[in-house]
Chains A and B, each alone.
Chain A
Amino acid sequence: MSDFRITEHPILVVPDVPRFSFSWSGQELSARQGETIAAALFANGVRVFGHHTKDGAPQGIFCANGQCAQCTVIADGLAVKSCMVPVTPGMRVEPLDAAPSLPEAGGALQYHAIDTIEVECLVLGGGPAGLSAAVELGRAGVSVVILDDKERLGGKLVLQTHKFFGSIEACHAGTRGIDIAAKLEAEVRSYENVRVWTDSVALAVFSDRKVGVLRQGHYVIVQPQVLLVATGARERSLVFRGNTLPGVYGAGAFQTLVNRDLVRPSARLFVVGGGNVGLIAAYHALQAGIQVVGLCEALPDCGGYKVHKDKLVRMGVPIYTSHTVVSANGEEEVTSVTIAAIDSAWKPIEGTEKTFACDTVLVAVGLDPVDEFHRKAKEFGLPALAAGDAEEIAEASAAMFTGKIRGLEIARMLGRDVGEVPPEWHKTAEVLKSRPGATVTEEIPDDEQGVFPVFHCSQEIPCNPCTSICPKHAIRIEGDDILGLPTFVEEDCIACEQCVAVCPGLAITLVDFRSDRESAIVTLPYEFTRATINEGDLVTVLDTEGKVLGNVPVVKVRAPKFADHALLVKVRAPREIAKLAAGIRVQEPWVGEPLEEKVERVADDQVVCRCERVTAGEIRAHIRAGVRDLNELKALTRAGMGACGGKTCPTLIRRLFLEEGVSPGEITELTQRPLVMEVTLGAFAGVITGEGPAKDVPRTHAVAVHEGGV
């Protein structure tokens, strides 16, 4: 089998990791130490992980985040989520094609006591919000346990290879997410009063105000005085024919495979959804050497930042607005996708279908807060706050800032003398959560002499690192409003190119007429591998909107340290186009061509509940028969009763009710019960596995649990 691994990446360093073999269906395959079973299978070109017992439908990954259970395989005899469990040398991995047989327990079992650990604050989630809160709590001397279900802290930051928006002071704007994660982690770990539990997952908040936690395979109960829920978001699914075929999965899952696991899971992919997640995933795909066949968005405009969209268009990715996905096609795996234009009632317009050959369809249609712990805590009277996406879906920059605010608020709740949360913090948090504002006509400067930056940035978003980075302070935003657009205000640009390098939207170019007033040297940011561009190459440059301006020669390629892995490419462009040139095309137009014949998927397999494979048709029939209680629907169809714990389908079911003309007020919601994750009876029994329950590294002095406050 060929190796679907990324060996070279423009941003990420590909580490040299020991390899070992494991088996899949009896066949020996190679794995990298530390990777998950799912990553190892994808790296070997395997993406059908089993077949559903109900209808034999092929199963693959969907979330790659431990939230769903579609990637379940049998590893050494036990059913496990392949996206969460590391592959080990010699591991025997089998597809899940029927109910797994339960192995006998091997040998006499040893038990540990199930401890109850008291702590002032328990932080669920070690992503941008949780880490930022833990820093504040750490500084205030609060005793904290912060846990995360992954081996590594950072949450989704570790997938963010792009530079951040926002401001440098508030949220490390202009720095890549992966580097922000490292900074925050180092700071959190510097506080003795903050205990970090990785590979640990909260399972339930109970009515006795205790939180059940599986810590590295061993169960422990945590009794906090205050709970901070910073559990982030989960990806929404979308109902269309073939929506569970292996090859259809979440954009976040894709970023996990590519940017964390360094797997190239696709050769040609299509993206559904033009929010920031979809736009960024498409960009990450291009960086990983994957062809992006196209991106469709149901609204007339992409909802994500315009700079993200522009970047893609300039690189040669076609974007279809007012289009929806009709079907993912294929028998065992995706072989093509069919899209269509939609009318004002969101219905596909017949005759407008287009089919594209591709092996992957990324679903990026929005996120839902992981807020069940917060709701349960409030119901049970456990003081609790939420931060980041668990509170409100927004950018990671906003998550960091709300995390910081919640940290301070909790320190106050616990009686620490930390003062009021500064009012400007709240203001900054609101600004960072801002949706993209007005789009204005791009202002191209009149100058045709000297050297100056050009801003291909025409939409109001919370972002201003260019104003902070300019050593001459010559880039300003009127009224210092972070949502405003930058302008170049003085004539003494020193051509340092730092603004070009820092712009997270890759939307600043430097135009230099000093040597030749007829053809300028234009510096363009470029985040692809060094091998793809060389001095002397002729490259196609495009304007902000993706219009081809012409072919121009590359005169210099630099990789200055301040550009942080990005390349700064100098091209020589004629006067007429120099200021308009915003980017270099990286993908040839033929890549985005549709097939001549449209493919129609006949099977009506629009799956709503992935775990129990319940279709939209079945649910609509029950709605039409008068069912209004999601609990009754669950009993009738098993929708919401499966392995994921009813986390994915309620959103889709609510939408079906709306489409059937039933208002939300008429619906009874699904009763949410523990657990959030399936965990063995052995763990709850206290069975000792491996090296036994984790112990906290002894600190030089213990932090007493503070009594005041709550």
Chain B
Amino acid sequence: MSTATFDAIVVGAGSVGTPTAMYLAERGLKILVVDQFPSPGQGSNKCAIGGIRATHSAPAKIRLCLESLATFSSWEHLHGDDIEWHMGGYCFVAYRDDEERLLRDLLKVQKSYGLNIDWYGAAELLERVPSLGHEGLRGGTLSPEDGSASPMRSCLAFYRRARALGVTFRFSERVTGLIRRRSQIVGVRTDKGGYASETVINAAGAWARSVAQAGGLDTPVVPDCHEAGITEPAARFLEPMVVDIRPTAGARNYYFCQLAGGQVIFCITPDPALVGSDRRETSAFLPMIARRMVNLMPRLANLRVRRTWRGLYPMTPDGAPVVGRSQVLSGYVHAEGMCGQGFMLGPGVGALVARLVTGALEPADEAVLAELAPTRAFGGAEALK
């Protein structure tokens, strides 16, 4: 029995793997995508809330997300699928000294990268986000060019385009091993067979570490759990993603935005982190986040919650993604550890990996790859053993 051969194999058909496959196919490569779930985006993509911003503080993420933003914002115009892109901006609010100082410090860095973001005093901010609780509001940052889109619809749009470009997808198939010849990767073994390729890209998100370990490698990606929810739709009353970074018992921050369809979607960052991959819903989430949301924006008290769920953040020790060629196994490419930002980073990372694999890197890519290198020191920890 002959083994099917591909120019590259992408492990994972989620937020990162799907656009990666699409960009590789755009460059004329014959691509296979293998995913353990039965259809695209069934890992963490469907659990993402859909926020997309370039207003980070690390230059690599800024560059990648600017590229992503360009993809999301022009997608419907170029390809016709409605991915529910809404350019509502991001708003980080400050009600105390600590947050005001932190945000203003961050702003200097963000400004230095040329990002469209500004500080607004309480009165100005309320003009733009009128539903915010007035009492004690100091102000906040607002970045109007950020926004949101539907993770599922986007993933399916990338999937459709990838298929149209000839990408082969194998679902409900788990990678059980990486086949190597000396220090060169030559294919993957799955629970249903094997495929040959001299390029394999790990875009397996929260499951990236088990894929690496199946090949005798490792990557410092450990998932933790985040719960999210969505409400019924309402007529638009909120433009930006609102982020409240005041730490409180049980949580570091929480954030919410109103989607193109009118629903409010919300998520909380537990503190301490809930390390693991338990995707089952808990009773603690709703009372915790609802109290904070209603406190911040009393109007939300009347909005009905429709559904809640739990998703996984593939975390790295330093909170930055791992992207680049392996130094120990030739042909093996990391596109993992997105730390909960796989959806907004996905198209940017996918395009970068496509350039990397086809030898078409641009000058600015080098710095990004250096910052996200698998070989970097992760807070003293060694990336690859």
Contacts and interface: CB of A to CB of B under 8 A. Distances in A.
B17 to A, nearest CB: 15
A678 B232 CA distance: 8
Interface in A74-129: 78-79, 98-105, 109, 111, 114
Given A635-B152, A685-B301, A687-B301, A100 B234 contact: yes
Contact of A111 (B289, B291, B302, B306): B291
A130 B271 CA distance: 40
Given A628-B38, A684-B286, A674 B302 contact: no
A250 interface: no
Given A681-B231, A686-B287, A78 B302 contact: yes
Interface string B160-192: 000000000001000000000000000000000
29 contacts: A99-B233, A99-B234, A99-B235, A102-B300, A102-B302, A109-B298, A206-B280, A206-B281, A207-B280, A207-B281, A208-B284, A219-B286, A221-B287, A631-B38, A632-B38, A635-B41, A668-B38, A673-B281, A675-B305, A678-B306, A680-B304, A681-B293, A682-B290, A683-B290, A684-B287, A684-B291, A684-B305, A685-B294, A687-B294
Interface residues of A, number: 47
A380 interface: yes
A198 B295 CA distance: 29
A635 B46 contact: yes
A210 interface: yes
B39 A102 contact: no
B38 A674 contact: no
B156 A681 contact: no
Contact of A206 (B38, B131, B231, B283): B283
B77 interface: no
Contact of B283 (A103, A208, A682): A208
Interface in B32-88: 38-42, 46
A645 B307 contact: yes
Nearest to A668: B38
Contact of B301 (A109, A208, A380): A109
A489 interface: no
Which of A380, A635, A668, A681 has the largest number of chain B CB atoms within 10 A? A681
B237 A101 contact: yes
Which 7 residue pairs spanning A and B have beta carbons closest together? A682-B301, A684-B290, A207-B280, A632-B39, A105-B298, A678-B304, A629-B39
Contacts of A559: none
Contacts, number: 145
A101 B235 contact: yes
A79 B304 contact: yes
Nearest to A102: B234
Given A206-B283, A684-B287, 11 more contacts: A79-B232, A99-B235, A101-B237, A102-B302, A109-B301, A631-B46, A674-B308, A680-B302, A682-B300, A684-B291, A685-B290
A628 B38 CA distance: 8
Contacts of A685: 287, 290-291, 293-295, 301
B75 to A, nearest CB: 16
A212 interface: yes
Contacts of A79: 232, 304
B377 interface: no
A683 B303 CA distance: 10
Interface in B118-161: 131, 152-153, 155-156
A679 interface: yes
A619 to B, nearest CB: 15
Contact of A221 (B41, B283, B299): B283
Contact of A675 (B131, B301, B307): B307
Contacts of A114: 287
Interface in B250-306: 262, 278, 280-284, 286-287, 289-291, 293-295, 298-306
A390 B231 CA distance: 27
A681 B303 contact: yes
Interface string B227-251: 0000111110100000000000000
B309 interface: yes
A690 B369 CA distance: 59
A78 B280 CA distance: 31
A635 B153 contact: yes
B234 A680 contact: no
Which of B235, B283, B299 has the largest number of chain A CB atoms within 10 A? B283
Contact of B302 (A208, A628, A682): A682
Contacts of A461: none
B46 A102 contact: no
A705 B286 CA distance: 27
Contacts of A680: 301-305
A643 interface: yes
B234 A632 contact: no
A681 B303 CA distance: 6
A681 B294 contact: yes
Nearest to A380: B280
Given A99-B233, A105-B301, A629 B281 contact: no
Interface residues on B, range: 35 or more
A682 B156 contact: no
Which of B40, B231, B301 has the largest number of chain A CB atoms within 10 A? B301
Contacts of A418: none
A219 B156 CA distance: 37
Nearest to A114: B287
A643 B306 CA distance: 7
Contacts of A703: none
Nearest to A636: B156
Nearest to A683: B290
Contacts of B278: 207
Contacts of B289: 684
Nearest to A116: B283
Interface in B1-50: 38-42, 46
B99 to A, nearest CB: 21
Contacts of B299: 102-105
A140 interface: no
A98 B301 CA distance: 20
A328 B314 CA distance: 51
B235 A100 contact: yes
Contacts of B287: 114, 219, 221, 684-686
A137 B131 CA distance: 49
A109 B232 CA distance: 22
Contacts of B40: 632
A410 to B, nearest CB: 22
A212 B287 CA distance: 10
Contacts of A380: 280
Given A101-B237, A102-B237, A681 B301 contact: yes
Contact of B294 (A210, A632, A645, A682): A682
Nearest to A678: B304
Contacts of A207: 278, 280-282
B35 to A, nearest CB: 11
Which of A53, A99, A679, A685 has the largest number of chain B CB atoms within 10 A? A685
Which of A111, A212, A219, A682 has the largest number of chain B CB atoms within 10 A? A682
A533 interface: no
A105 B234 contact: no
Contacts of B231: 678, 681
B271 to A, nearest CB: 18
Contacts of B234: 99-102
A681 B39 contact: no
A103 B262 CA distance: 14
Interface in A202-254: 204, 206-208, 210, 212, 219, 221
Contacts of A210: 283
B308 A675 contact: yes
Contacts of B156: 632, 635-636
Interface in A652-685: 668, 673-675, 678-685
A645 B39 CA distance: 21
A208 B290 CA distance: 19
